[in-house]
Amino acid sequence: MMEIISVIEHSTVPIVEKRSKGQKSLTPVHAAALAKFEKKLPLKTFSWGHRTIKFSQYCGVISLGNITLEVLPKIYGKETEPGVSRKALINMLLKTRKLKSFRGGSSSIGIQRNNLLDIFILYFCELVHSEIRQGMIHQYVQRTENLHVLKGRLLIEKQLRYNAAHRDRLYCQYDEFKADNMHNQIIKSVLNSMLTLTSGIATRKKVRELLMHFADIQDINVDLNMIEQLYLDRSSQRYKPIFDQCRLFVQGLYPDVVAGHHTCISLLFDMNRLFESYVAHIMKKVALKQGKQMREQGPRKFMAFRSDNNEQAFMMKPDMVFIDPETGPFAIMDTKWKLLDDREKKLGISQNDMYQIAAYASRYNIKNLSLVYPYQQYLTSPLKFSLQRTQSTIKIIPVDISATESFQIQSIMHTNMDF
């Protein structure tokens, strides 16, 4: 039976010789598997200590045979409530389109009671179920057979070679409209992998029910290249979100990490990038409400110019630039998935982060600047810095990822961003 260990990002997990069920620890066997896994994971997913492992800002799932590590985002005041962290992470993935929403919505998945890996699997199952209700992908597959009746076209050369003594047979080539094609074979392969990964009884039942639809589909071993080369025509384009999820799973599958019959997987998301995309999603709506526009990663400008070769250098690309259709850019915002401390005068803000956004103020000639951080113990309300000898201000804005979208929009609008 697969055991789930839920940990919060930046937390430390001990390595013990013997562990009891439910204990948030790993054995040396699991640590060795994780060490083998390390080169396949994003750089600095975790760090090694003395008989400990400390996780960084990557959240998601790491499966190690009979144990699955569920790394969840840190939400201030909710550290002991994994369900809240799961819900917030899934919501961020949905809003940033890393996961595609479907008709049933997240309520049908049981986010509060299911672990993160089962949630990903159930989302995939719901997507597949929604599409196969409209029909599985069928394609014309070319077949060559020796038949008793003419079907398609006669292959003269093979007819003479194989049927000279069998005048009752015809060597034919024809197209057959079949569900047993590469598209459905890939989906079936991913579902079979999921069956070996899930620990939930309800999840296994859901996967098995779906596999019944693929009973006549050939079993194959799928690799990433097969998915990358898959062609979707007009009739199969609606399956694109499903194959995007197939790609995500196949990228993370590593059957050779631990011994035995266990399939291992990593599904990890960089919270720095996810938080940036999520805040951008919120800010687009804030800007729209005020009749403004928001642009991500631009407009890009260069900070310096080399006179010796007449080339620009040090390109600048703010996370978000707010634009008035009549007067142009008027505000810049950067996001930082970091912990702060208001007990010291700099709040724990990195000098590099402050220098970076101050440089934006100078180059873009903008006075209204913001740094957005997750809502946390030492940042529960907006703060403000005034840059010396300028008229520019830098607002420090917290965003509570566990709050509703409407609450977040209203909170940001109340920070007086000069909209």
pLDDT tens track for 6-17:
999 999 999 999
Give a three-class secondary structure readout of the chain: CCEEEEEECCCEEEECCCCCCCCCCECHHHHHHHHHHHHHCCCCCEEEECCEEEECCEEEEEEECCEEEEEECCCCCCCCCHHHHHHHHHHHHHHCCCCCCCCCCHHHCCCCCCCHHHHHHHHHHHHHHHHHCCCCCCEEEEEEEEECCCCCEECHHHHHHHCCCCCCCEEEEEEEEECCCHHHHHHHHHHHHHHHHCCCHHHHHHHHHHHHCCCCCCCCCCCHHHHHCCCCCCCCHHHHHHHHHHHHHHHHEECCCCCCCCCEEEEEEEHHHHHHHHHHHHHHHHHHHCCCEEEECCCCEEEEEECCCCEEEEEECCCEEEEECCCEEEEEEEECCCCCCCCCCCCCCCHHHHHHHHHHHHHHCCCEEEEEEECECCECCCEEEECCCCCCEEEEEEECCCCCHHHHHHHHHCCCCCC
User: Tell me, what's the pLDDT at 106?
Assistant: 56
Average pLDDT, the chain: 85
pLDDT tens track for 235-294:
889 999 999 989 888 888 765 544 445 567 888 999 999 999 999 999 999 989 888 999
Confidence check: pLDDT of 319 > 50: yes
Confidence check: pLDDT of 374 > 80: yes
> What band does 105 get if pLDDT is binned at 50, 70 and 90?
low
pLDDT tens track for 39-71:
888 888 899 999 999 999 999 998 887 888 899
User: Tell me, what's the pLDDT at 104?
Assistant: 54
pTM over the 0.85 mark:
no
User: Tell me, what's the pLDDT at 260?
Assistant: 45
pLDDT tens track for 34-43:
888 888 888 8
